[in-house]
Structure 1
Amino acid sequence: MMSVYNELRLEQTLCDALIRVDNFEFYAHKLILCNCSSYFKALFTHWSTPDSRVYDIPNVSPDMMKIIIDFAYTNFAPVTQENVQELFIAADQFNVMGIIQACSDFLEEQLTPQNCIGIWWFTDAYYTPELKHKAFLFMLNRFEEVAASSEEFLQLSVQQLVKIIESDRLNVKKENTVFEAILHWISYATEERRQYISLLLSNVRLALTTAEYIIDSVSNNELVKASEECRPILLSALEAMLDLGTKRLLDSKIDNPLARSRLPTAILLAIGGYSGTSPTNGIEAYDVRADCWVDITSNEQGPRAYHSAVFLDGYVYCLGGFNNVERFRSMVRFDLAMYDWQEVTHMHSRRCYLSVTVMDGCIYAIGGYDGRDRLKTAERYQPTINQWTLIAPMNEQRSDASCTAQNGKVYICGGFNGSECLFTAECYTPETNQWTMIAPMGSNRSGVGVIAYAGHVFAVGGFNGTRRLDSVEAYNPDTNTWRDVPSMLNARSNFGIEVIDDRLFVVGGFNGHTTMPDVECYDVAADEWSFVRNIEVTRSALSCCVVYGLPNLSEYAAPHHSLQFSDEEEEGEMEL
């Protein structure tokens, strides 16, 4: 019908309105414009007589009016970098909600650390709560880049800067960054802004830094030394540090806002595995900012070990594995927003000791053990159609291997073929549906952890047929070569492995004598391993995945956060 109306408009047939803008004339049908815009509805029904035909419209360019009238007939507006701001203002003036939404979507896609503050300011003048919320969250999530590279950051008001740095959602790896950003902002207009140092410093979580940093860098800063109001803030931060050493971690952080960690942007889950001699259904969530594990076990699902878990489109998928009775071909998924489990289509084969990864919106399940044979077969799951499809088999049988996706290919390394632990590796190319052998690892590794990290494929730990390994090696796909990486602090096999916060984490596992609670991480920039907080339940044969982008992510984080959201955050919580 709309195409018919548009033909009539272009032919100037049955048109009952002539819109004039700066001597440009646009023929239209009143009914069509009323359907698109409450402005035109009011103009035709209340602000003019029924027999009026010609309407002179002020304060808009002919180009914008043409887009608005075209949109009324076609439901399409050509939004570009050059016209988006003017078009947004015109659409707001005429209350054309479809164009406002199109402009908001376009601006959201264009958000960068350099322009997000400007877009946030723009939404103050033109009320679009969803875009305002997303621009604010973008600012929080990319704060380090924003503070370092945005000229608009230096033009924030002190109230706006406080709104940003006081948020629990501010994403900073080190609280030092917040203090240094404050100094950068003050330096833009030092004499005018130095009076705000104590107000801003009170919103830095100083107790999350070190005593050395507070004494050497903060208290010795000229602005801080000149402010009497800063001294009690520094003392309170140092007292909070002492509390952390003598009281329980969470209790002490409740008491003092200077010691409360920020909310993470992602959560690491450790799912299932063997605890002692039996499988468990336990799930723990790691808050990387608080360095704390939280029990989120759901008893709707039974125990699984030697399974795999991956995160895709808001769901955690658990597939394959073993419960001491049967080997599974089933797959279930956990809806993290609704807290419920759903069973989805089963795999073609029973698979425990399987290898699983996600690539291009699909889940790949590879190899494993069906109770009789070590498998070469592989299959791919498409969530959009809830269907598994067999793909080409590997070159070798592999159970207890591990795989990852890197640059459009799936890499699988090591494993056990029924008679020996393997040092071979291969990769799968979806376009050709082919597996290709790549350079072998330096060590035989079964129960290995394989993960894409820092542009390489890392093979971590495992069992070489004689002992558990602490060694690590990294594969460069460009040169088809492996190189040694610093060894883990503990030897282990059958552990969880994931990358979060730009670090590679290994969780639990088996050391040859007992299951382990130990967790450690590797930082490629520092080229070293360090311990982090142990999981609460010791286990091996578990699986880890990282979840992000959830509207209720805070519910899986450490429970001590005082979630006092700003207006933008509260609106976003309701919308999401």
Structure 2
Amino acid sequence: MVLISARSSAPSASSMETSPVTAGNTKICPQKPVEVKENTEKFCPVTMNPRHTRKAFKVMNELRSQNLLCDVTIVAEDVEIAAHKVVLAACSPYFHAMFTGEMSESRAKRVRIKEVDGWTLKLLVDYVYTAEIKVTEENVQVLLPAASLLQLQDVRKTCCEFLESQLHPTNCLGIRAFADMHACTELLHQANTFAEQHFSDIVQGEEFVNLGIEQVCSLIASDKLTVLSEEKVFEAVITWVNHDKDVRQEHMAHLMEHVRLPLLSRDYLVQRVEEETLVKNSSACKDYLIEAMKYHLLPGDQRTLIKSARTRQRTPVSLPKLMVVVGGQAPKAIRSVECYDFKEEQWHQVAELPSRRCRSGVVYMNGHVFAVGGFNGSLRVRTVDSYDPVKDQWISVANMQDRRSTLGAAVLNGLLYAVGGFDGSTGLATVEAYNVKANEWFHVAPMNTRRSSVGVGVVGGMLYAVGGYDGASRQCLSTVECYNPSTNEWSYISEMGTRRSGAGVGVLNGWLYAVGGHDGPLVRKSVEVYDPSTNLWKQVADMNMCRRNAGIIHVIQDSAVELKGKGGESDSNNHHNKFYDSNL
């Protein structure tokens, strides 16, 4: 122990320079003094105690609870809260300005807060002392504006995060309005995004029909609206107007300005839109309908030249990128269906097909996956199954009129087309179209050539049938035909440079790709691309291996992915997936 005793006389300055400081008989810091050079900084470590602030605030809160050292009473309604000005000013810019400025409250012992109820103010003062607060469904709507008033930004942020976690199709529009009212920028953005992503659900609720006209227009005008069909937007407008028809029908023209009628099918325009009384009663709405009908009368290659808000496709960001593989042979026809999630980078087993099928056509239309025709291991079939990814359920829809396997399938103008194929005895030139609304198939003009193992693609409103096998001449084909739905006619276009049966066909950036395929025993790895504007095919980079019966889809940015096909030499199933980047 170091003992320090008082002395009546202090050491002289000279003795302090040469001798250690002494206290009684004990020397303190007996080391020789260190000479400190001029302009040299000493390193002095600082000890931080994170518990100090918590302990201090805990003691101050205990003092407050005992009304000790309190110098102000905050009053709201009939609630009186004793507090310390310095604590309130340290935590709240609102109180800081009140107590340090020239306001009369800076000297007052009692301060009344009129904009906040007593119960909420008590919660916030408790938070100032304890840094703890519980946000609930019951208090968030009064807590957030009160926290905004007192400029307690952390509480305000907590309230916004709580509301964001509560977003649901039944409340997102109300939360959006609340966020807008209180200038909660991030919450407003999240509520807007949620409303866009769940549009099909929110239009069925009370909040939607109670929106104001400008709020409805703002929502349906969004490019990011997630809808499987523009029909949903049109029907939402009609629902909103009919909720208070006498008052709202005058807004029809303003609303229809944001409905992308040209993107609707011609059948829907004629059978539904044109027959709607609210449309008939508005000359401006009829003009929008005429605009849409004229758009459908244009050749496919001319439609792309029309640039307007109503012809622009919506680009929702919420739809997950999924790839569905339907049926197949392993080694016999199977019912298995798998789904690949590009975000999770995982395969998932989903509901099985109602019946076995391979060599079928598979397309995505109106939010459903359709498996068309194929071979069940014994017979070529004309059955068609539809998969609902939301319900994870397959249902059977109307059968085709002809049995088909190794057919081409594509969607054009809201109709599903089944092109060519093989019926078990001969190749087919016939083509059928499926109307999902009527649940019926009907024949359209046949191709000029029979084509089984045909690849199909849609570019510029035209349907292309690429290569295939002609059972009559027993030759693989290099010819390509184009179907114009406006004239119901097939016509030949430029031939490919090589014969290809079982080629994978896909569309990327407005060009038609023919990938691999075979010419008799010769399986190809070459790839050709067709430019409709020049009516020319050209060779592009070869694949790494030969493939036939490969599937091609456009899934990521400007790249195409090729699914497994069959190889050449061993003719065994090929499990490799390849990507083609058109920018390289």
Q: TM-score, normalised by structure 2?
A: 0.50
Aligned CA distance change for structure 1 residues 3 and 258 (closer, same or farther; 3 Å): same
Give secondary structure in 2 for the equivalent of 1:172.
coil
Give secondary structure in 2 for the equivalent of 1:535.
strand
Q: Is the 8 A contact 1:473 1:483 kept in 2?
A: yes
Identity score, percent:
31
Could you tell me which residue of structure 1 aligns to residue 141 of structure 2? 85
Q: For residues 554 and 85 of structure 2, what CA distance do their matches in structure 1 show?
A: 56
Deviations 1:390-434 (A, max 9, x none): xxxxxxxxxxxxx56x9xxxxxx9xxxxxxxxxxxxxxxxxxxxx
Could you tell me which residue of structure 2 aligns to residue 257 of structure 1? 309
Q: Match of 1:36, as an amino acid?
A: C
Q: Is the 8 A contact 1:472 1:486 kept in 2?
A: yes
Q: For residues 467 and 164 of structure 1, what CA distance do their matches in structure 2 show?
A: 50
Instruction: Please point out which of 312, 319, 333 is paired with 1:266.
Output: 319
Q: For residues 158 and 54 of structure 1, what CA distance do their matches in structure 2 show?
A: 47
Aligned CA distance change for structure 1 residues 545 and 238 (closer, same or farther; 3 Å): closer
* Cα deviation, residue 64, structure 1: 1.0
* Cα deviation, residue 175, structure 1: 1.6
Q: Match of 2:62, as an amino acid?
A: E
Q: Match of 1:161, as an amino acid?
A: V
Instruction: Please point out which of 34, 49, 60 is paired with 1:9.
Output: 60
> What is the aligned residue count?
371
Give secondary structure in 1 for the equivalent of 2:204.
helix
Q: Is the 8 A contact 2:72 2:82 kept in 1?
A: yes
* Cα deviation, residue 131, structure 1: 1.2
Instruction: Give the number of the structure with larger relative contact order, counting CA–CA contacts within 8 Å between residues 6 or more apart.
Output: 1
Q: Match of 1:119, as an amino acid?
A: I
- Unaligned stretches of 5+ residues in structure 2: 1-50, 325-337, 388-393, 407-433, 443-455, 459-504, 508-512, 516-548, 561-584
Q: TM-score, normalised by structure 1?
A: 0.50
- Asked if 1:238 is matched to 2:293, the reply is yes
Give secondary structure in 1 for the equivalent of 2:239.
helix
Superposed, 1:440-519 pairs within 5 Å as none
Could you tell me which residue of structure 1 aligns to residue 198 of structure 2? 142
Aligned CA distance change for structure 1 residues 157 and 15 (closer, same or farther; 3 Å): same
Q: For residues 209 and 131 of structure 2, what CA distance do their matches in structure 1 show?
A: 40
* Cα deviation, residue 35, structure 1: 4.4
Instruction: Please point out which of 191, 199, 204 is paired with 2:259.
Output: 204
Instruction: Please point out which of 88, 91, 94 is paired with 2:150.
Output: 94
* Cα deviation, residue 159, structure 1: 1.8
* Deviates further, 9-18 or 156-165: 9-18
Q: Is the 8 A contact 2:355 2:376 kept in 1?
A: no
* Cα deviation, residue 128, structure 1: 0.6
Deviations 1:426-481 (A, max 9, x none): xxxxxxxxxxxxxxx987999xx9xxxx9xxx999999999999999999xxxxxx
Superposed, 1:64-83 pairs within 5 Å as 64-83=120-139
Could you tell me which residue of structure 2 aligns to residue 357 of structure 1? 347
Instruction: Please point out which of 506, 528, 537 is paired with 1:535.
Output: 506
Q: For residues 467 and 67 of structure 1, what CA distance do their matches in structure 2 show?
A: 74
Could you tell me which residue of structure 2 aligns to residue 166 of structure 1? 221
Q: For residues 117 and 559 of structure 2, what CA distance do their matches in structure 1 show?
A: 50
RMSD over aligned Cα, in angstroms? 5.6
Q: Is the 8 A contact 2:323 2:340 kept in 1?
A: no
- Asked if 1:127 is matched to 2:180, the reply is no
Superposed, 1:391-410 pairs within 5 Å as none
* Cα deviation, residue 61, structure 1: 2.0
Aligned CA distance change for structure 1 residues 473 and 80 (closer, same or farther; 3 Å): same
Q: For residues 124 and 303 of structure 2, what CA distance do their matches in structure 1 show?
A: 58
- Unaligned stretches of 5+ residues in structure 1: 272-307, 318-355, 359-402, 407-412, 414-440, 476-481, 493-521, 548-554, 559-576
* Deviates further, 233-242 or 212-221: 212-221
Could you tell me which residue of structure 2 aligns to residue 186 of structure 1? 241
Aligned CA distance change for structure 1 residues 541 and 237 (closer, same or farther; 3 Å): closer
Deviant stretches of 4+, over 6 Å: 441-446, 458-475, 482-492, 522-532, 540-547, 555-558
Q: Is the 8 A contact 2:506 2:554 kept in 1?
A: no
Q: Is the 8 A contact 1:165 1:178 kept in 2?
A: yes
Q: Is the 8 A contact 1:179 1:204 kept in 2?
A: yes
Q: Is the 8 A contact 2:169 2:202 kept in 1?
A: yes
Instruction: Please point out which of 72, 78, 84 is paired with 1:18.
Output: 72
Give secondary structure in 2 for the equivalent of 1:55.
strand
Q: Is the 8 A contact 2:323 2:341 kept in 1?
A: no
Q: For residues 268 and 67 of structure 1, what CA distance do their matches in structure 2 show?
A: 45
Q: Is the 8 A contact 1:104 1:131 kept in 2?
A: yes
Q: Is the 8 A contact 2:209 2:240 kept in 1?
A: yes
* Cα deviation, residue 203, structure 1: 1.6
Deviations 1:288-336 (A, max 9, x none): xxxxxxxxxxxxxxxxxxxx99657xx675xxxxxxxxxxxxxxxxxxx
Deviations 1:20-63 (A, max 9, x none): 22453434444543443221221222235766554333232222
Q: For residues 138 and 273 of structure 2, what CA distance do their matches in structure 1 show?
A: 44
